[in-house]
Amino acid sequence: MSKSTVLVVGGNSDIAKPLIKSFCNYGYEVSITCRSEEKLQNTCNNLISYTGNKIIGSVLDLNDIDAVKVFFEHHQVPQVLVIAAGFMSLDNDAYDDVLNSIKVNYLSAVVLLNAAKKEMLSRNCGDIIVLSSVAGERGRYSNYLYGSSKAALTQFLSGFRARLYGTNINVLTVKCGVVATKFNQGISYAKEGRVLVSTPEKVANMIFKAFKKRKQVIYTPSYWALIMRSVKAIPEFIFRRLKL
């Protein structure tokens, strides 16, 4: 019997690394994508050492939407599709960063999921795991560009999940809180050991448990659900004055 397959888009992310190890431990054949050949080779080598398993790699630049659109014409649609890639800029006004945020955080995921949908529907089975963010719950002064792209992603996944209702395809939206990763290294409060800051290993463990239970939406860690409920309850005339 062939192994179950998982594809992790953005396989070099800090959260993806321990998540990939969990899939390897359960006997999955793992493939990853990275945006360049150099990054792909380095990531594959690191993951092989980390997991002790063979890792299959492909180059996929999520800024190149044409390449994203035809990716599954040249690669097998996996049983489990994980989208862990992301882009965040602290400059909310730079034109290139606006395009990167839209393409990497939202448009590439939409195109990739729509491309995978037909094959998954023909099998009537599959799992989709997408890393979104609590930043998409409400636009904030400091990162509204990133937050708005994640908000769009979360809403798309909600509708995509509804579209697939009645099939055996599960869509898991992961609303990540603040995690101590290289992705957040430019943010002063996102340091390991700080209050409310989690580690990639803890978040990956929560994601894998939710995947096995076929949950639809989770906050990682779960206390972010309560935090964001409180944040969303703040009246707009007050919230707009907060430099969050």
Task: State the average pLDDT over residues 70-94.
Answer: 91
Separation between Cα atoms, residue 93 and residue 103, nearest integer Å: 16
Token pair belonging to 131:
């890393």
Note the pTM of the prediction, 2 decimals: 0.94
Lowest mean pLDDT among 69-73, 141-145, 156-160: 141-145
Count up the domains in the chain and report the number.
1
Please choose, from the candidates 47, 26, 8, 53, the residue with its C-alpha nearest in 3D space to the C-alpha of residue 209.
26
Q: Do residues 161 and 151 make contact, with C-beta atoms less than 8 angstroms apart?
A: no
Confidence of residue 3 (pLDDT cuts 50, 70, 90): confident
Residue 244 included in any domain:
no
Q: Does 25 have pLDDT greater than 70?
A: yes
Confidence of residue 182 (pLDDT cuts 50, 70, 90): confident
Q: Do residues 145 and 89 make contact, with C-beta atoms less than 8 angstroms apart?
A: yes
Residue 78's CATH number: 3.40.50.720
Residue 117 included in any domain:
yes
Q: Directed axis angle between helix 200-213 and helix 16-25, to 10°? A: 50
Write down the pLDDT at residue 108: 98
The residue range of the domain holding 181 is 5-239
Residue 205 included in any domain:
yes
Confidence of residue 141 (pLDDT cuts 50, 70, 90): confident
Give the model confidence (pLDDT) of 65-78 as tens digits: 999 999 999 999 99
